[in-house]
C-alpha cells in the first residue's frame, strides 16, 4: 500500500505530504513495513518475469 491516496484523519491533508506529526509517523511506518511498496506494478511484474526466467535457466543448466 502506498500513501499517495491516503487522507489524514488529524489534519485532513494527504498523508504523502506529511503536514502534521500523525501524517509523518504514518508515512514512515508504511515505508518501513513495505520495502517494495514504492515500486510500480510494472516494475513488480518485470521483477517477477526476471525471476521466472532465471529459475528456468537454472533448471535447464541443472538438468543438462
Predicted pLDDT at 13: 87
pLDDT at 5: 77
**What is the reported pLDDT for 29?**
83
Predicted pLDDT at 35: 66
pLDDT at position 1, please?
A: 54
3-state secondary structure the chain: CCCCCCECCCCCCEHHHCCCHHHHHHHHHHHHHCCCCCCCHHHHHHHHHHHHHHHHHHHHHHHC
- Residue pLDDT tens, the chain, 64 long: 566 778 888 898 888 888 899 888 888 887 777 666 667 788 889 999 999 999 999 999 998 7
Amino acid at each position: 500500500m502506498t500513501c499517495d491516496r491516503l487522507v489524514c484523519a488529524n489534519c485532513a491533508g494527504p498523508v504523502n505530504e506529511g503536514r502534521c506529526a500523525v501524517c509523518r509517523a504514518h508515512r514512515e511506518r508504511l515505508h518501513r513495513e513495505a520495502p517494495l511498496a514504492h515500486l510500480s506494478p510494472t516494475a513488480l511484474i518485470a521483477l517477477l518475469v526476471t525471476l521466472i526466467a532465471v529459475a528456468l535457466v537454472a533448471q535447464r543448466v541443472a538438468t543438462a
